[in-house]
């Protein structure tokens, strides 16, 4: 079958390559759609940018969940299960594709799709060019172009037919699930299941970041979410400490401190990480900042400084033994 259709949406043309085998499904808010996709440039070679079949994992989108590439909802809701169709979309619909593709590629590479720990000034983002990490996507970001999307609709599930993960939730539902994830993380931490706890904290942080990006920076709703994110990030750092990922702890706490210099706990956690990697001067500086912000921490800081002194003495003795026969 090869039938060209207009979907009633300007800048979109559909060509059915293989007809579906069932009735047209109901697409309501919360419907989960599973599909394969191939993205191609509109050049003579039909250069392939991405192909989910090559990765071996189909894509999932929840209808009505504000997916970044909005046109995909329009395309998918015109299809039947089993159908394969090619869609030509002009640049008014493809501008967000490089960002979406970056996330999908990071997932395929086993990386975090969201650089949630990176804080960058909004004004800097507006005027500075940031590479996406993939040359072909960088080029498409600089010079947006029409694209072909070849979609194969595999499965359509109504909201009651599947367990909804946090990525499939609305913003309101995400806000409700954050404290649940936080509590689950705390319980797992107390049980010594640090990797499981860190996954819960990280999932909650991603929920918050997905909501926060839609708020105006530094206004009350944004700041409330920012504070929630700090608490979860510091809990996540406690898990990293148990896994001896001290430099990552220093990175995350430094991000917080650079944006919000008054967060005492960030200095305290960073100081403890500095202790573990023998950064004596940095640890002393951070512990002094803790006392400046909260004099009530004097007893806890004194105890940590004793640990630091002991570790530094052990390090010096170790170095003496190591280099004793060299001179």
DSSP for 185-200, please give it: HHHHHHTT-HHHHHHH
Residue 201 has pLDDT above 80, yes or no: yes
In this prediction, residue 123 carries a pLDDT of 35
Residue 167 is given by DSSP the state G
Interval 60-116: pLDDT, tens: 888 887 677 889 999 999 999 999 999 999 999 999 999 889 888 887 776 655 554
> In DSSP terms, which residues pair with 41 in a beta bridge?
147
pLDDT more than 90, % of the chain: 58
pTM of this prediction exceeds 0.75: no
In this prediction, residue 30 carries a pLDDT of 82
Q: Nearest 5 degrees, angle CA 293-CA 298-CA 301?
A: 95
| 216 vs 318, residue with greater confidence | 216
SS (H, E, C) 198-248: HHHHHHHHHHHHHHHCCCCCCCHHHHHHHHHHHHHHHHHHHHHHHCCCHHH
CB under 8 Å to 56, separation ≥6 — which residues?
none
In this prediction, residue 40 carries a pLDDT of 97
Please give the CATH topology (third level) of the domain spanning 245-312: 1.25.40
Say what angle helices 264-276 and 246-259 make with each other, to 10 degrees.
150
CB atoms inside a 10 Å sphere around CB 101: 20
Q: Dihedral sign for Cα 61, 62, 68, 74, please.
A: positive
Q: Where are the alpha helices (DSSP H) in the chain?
A: 52-55, 71-76, 91-94, 97-108, 122-127, 135-142, 171-190, 194-212, 220-242, 246-259, 264-276, 280-293, 298-323
Residue 220 has pLDDT above 80, yes or no: yes
| Confidence label for 122 from pLDDT (cuts 50, 70 and 90) | very low
| 316 vs 296, residue with greater confidence | 296
Interval 133-159: pLDDT, tens: 899 999 999 999 999 999 999 999 988
Residue 292 in contact with residue 317, Cβ under 8 Å? Answer: no
Residue 188 in contact with residue 207, Cβ under 8 Å? Answer: no
Overall average pLDDT of the 296-325 stretch = 84
Which CATH code for domain 3-161?
A: 3.10.50.40
| pLDDT, averaged across the chain | 86
Domain ranges of the chain: 3-161, 165-243, 245-312
Residue 127 has pLDDT above 60, yes or no: no
In this prediction, residue 116 carries a pLDDT of 40
| Confidence label for 126 from pLDDT (cuts 50, 70 and 90) | very low
Length, in residues, of the chain? 327
Distance in angstroms (rounded) separating the CA atoms of residues 48 and 55: 13
CA-nearest of 149, 167, 142 to 32 is 167
Distance in angstroms (rounded) separating the CA atoms of residues 129 and 292: 38
Overall average pLDDT of the 14-39 stretch = 90
CA-nearest of 295, 300, 293, 233 to 272 is 300
Residue 1 has pLDDT above 50, yes or no: no
Residue 2 has pLDDT above 80, yes or no: no
CA-nearest of 97, 80, 77, 81 to 9 is 77
Overall average pLDDT of the 173-189 stretch = 90
Domains 3-161 and 245-312 belong to one CATH topology:
no
Distance in angstroms (rounded) separating the CA atoms of residues 150 and 259: 43
Residue 320 has pLDDT above 90, yes or no: no
Residue 169 has pLDDT above 90, yes or no: no
Residue 6 has pLDDT above 80, yes or no: no
In this prediction, residue 7 carries a pLDDT of 64
**CATH ID of 165-243, from 1.20.1250.20, 1.25.40.10, 1.10.1740.10, 3.40.50.800:** 1.25.40.10
Distance in angstroms (rounded) separating the CA atoms of residues 163 and 304: 45
């Amino acid at each position: 079958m090869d039938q060209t259709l207009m979907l009633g949406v300007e800048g979109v043309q559909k060509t059915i390559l293989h007809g579906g085998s069932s009735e047209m499904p109901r697409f309501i808010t919360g419907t989960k759609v599973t599909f394969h996709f191939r993205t191609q440039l509109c050049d003579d070679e039909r250069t392939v940018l991405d192909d989910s079949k090559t990765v071996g994992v189909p894509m999932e989108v929840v209808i009505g969940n504000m997916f970044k590439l909005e046109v995909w909802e329009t395309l998918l809701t015109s299809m039947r299960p089993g159908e394969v169709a090619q869609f030509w979309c002009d640049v008014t619909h493809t501008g967000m594709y490089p960002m979406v593709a970056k996330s999908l590629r990071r997932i395929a590479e086993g990386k975090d799709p969201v650089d949630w720990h990176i804080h960058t000034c909004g004004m800097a983002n507006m005027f500075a060019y940031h590479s996406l990490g993939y040359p072909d996507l960088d080029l498409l970001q600089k010079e947006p172009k029409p694209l072909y999307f070849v979609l194969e609709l595999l499965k359509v599930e109504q909201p009651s037919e599947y367990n909804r993960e946090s990525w499939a939730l609305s913003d309101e539902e995400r806000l409700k699930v954050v404290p649940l994830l936080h509590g689950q993380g705390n319980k797992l931490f107390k049980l010594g299941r640090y990797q499981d706890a860190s996954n819960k904290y990280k999932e909650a942080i991603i929920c918050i970041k997905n909501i926060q990006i839609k708020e105006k920076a530094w206004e009350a709703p944004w700041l409330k979410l920012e504070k929630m994110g700090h608490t979860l990030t510091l809990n996540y750092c406690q898990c990293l400490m148990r896994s001896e990922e001290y430099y990552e702890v220093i990175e995350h706490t430094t991000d917080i401190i650079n944006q919000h210099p008054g967060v005492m706990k960030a200095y305290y956690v960073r100081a403890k990480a500095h202790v573990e990697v023998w950064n004596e001067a940095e640890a002393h500086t951070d512990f002094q900042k803790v006392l400046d912000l909260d004099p009530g921490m004097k007893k806890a800081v004194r105890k940590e400084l004793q640990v630091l002194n002991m570790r530094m003495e052990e390090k010096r003795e170790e170095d003496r033994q190591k280099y004793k026969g060299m001179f």
